[in-house]
Amino acid sequence: MATSVYPIKMVYTVDEQPVEISPLKIKYLREFMDMFDSIKTANNDDDVLVVISKCVSIAMKQFNPELIDADDHFDLNAMYDIIDIAGGIKLKPDAEESLKSQAEKGDTWETLDLAKIEGEVFALGIWKNYEELELSMSMKEIVNTLQVKRELDYQDKKFDAAIQGVDLDKNNKSTGNEWEDLKARAFSKGKTKDGNDILSLQGVNAAQAGFGIGLGLDYETN
């Protein structure tokens, strides 16, 4: 079976209207995560549900603006599915732990040097400005594109070095993985150059390692 860059799920409104949900594009994810971060000031789970509803309304700006009044169109189960797929935040309403406590765990995407990552992807020359980039790509798409770009760049460097009789992999004193080292530098904001260093486990790296929230990547509490 072919691999996929990101998950897609069909959710249904209270009147059975289907809505296809995928990870939010960066433009909407910014607003979504800013709203979700307000859960920190929620007093109880009822307040958390209000924030979740507002997050779903923000997501509908991308998926279906006619459904922007989330409370009128979605039940709670559908809202949890939208939060999960669109924002990469998996909450468990039936867990013993409160929704507020679940939502407050992990990193936010503030730990990610997004400007640096977007800058490198933007250098591909496909978009006329950063707004167009953020409207066209989700966090998963940006990370996947950057990963492929860096791997191709490294293979080119290896080929050029091999012509001169140099084995880059043999002489590389880092982790031996140029892409992992790049991520370590970007996600730790220069604090480490080693992809195996714990300081690299922030933002996207943290989510891929199994913890951290947002960034359009998966997060789940036990």
Helix, strand or coil for residue 49? Answer: helix
pLDDT digits (tens, 9 = 90+) for 25-58: 999 998 998 899 888 888 888 999 999 999 999 9
Report CA Rg, the chain.
20
Confidence of residue 88 (pLDDT cuts 50, 70, 90): confident
Please write down the HEC assignment for all residues of 10-47: EEECCCCCEEEECCCEHHHHHHHHHHHHHHHHCCCHHH
Phi-psi region of 216 (alpha: psi -120 to 50; beta: other; left: phi over 0): left
Residue found under tokens 């809505």: 19
Domain assignments of the chain as residue spans, ordered by start:
9-104, 113-201
Confidence of residue 1 (pLDDT cuts 50, 70, 90): low
H or E segment and range at residue 52? helix 45-63
DSSP 8-class letter at 92: -
**Between these two residues, 131 and 99, which has the higher pLDDT value?**
131
Please answer whether residues 79 and 56 qualify as being in contact, where contact means their C-beta atoms are separated by less than 8 angstroms: yes
Sequence-distant (≥ 6) Cβ neighbours of residue 142 within 8 angstroms: 26, 117, 118, 121
Q: Retrieve residue 31's tokens.
A: 């607003």
DSSP 8-class letter at 9: E
Helix, strand or coil for residue 100? Answer: helix
Distances (CA, A) of 137 to 6, 23, 145, 197: 11, 9, 10, 29
Longest CA pairwise span in the chain (Å): 67
Q: Whole-model pTM?
A: 0.68
Q: Retrieve residue 95's tokens.
A: 């867990």
Return mean pLDDT, the chain.
77
pLDDT digits (tens, 9 = 90+) for 7-27: 899 999 999 999 999 999 999
**Between these two residues, 119 and 169, which has the higher pLDDT value?**
119
Please answer whether residues 81 and 11 qualify as being in contact, where contact means their C-beta atoms are separated by less than 8 angstroms: yes
Please give the pLDDT value at position 181.
58
Confidence of residue 178 (pLDDT cuts 50, 70, 90): low
pLDDT digits (tens, 9 = 90+) for 196-215: 443 444 444 444 444 333 44
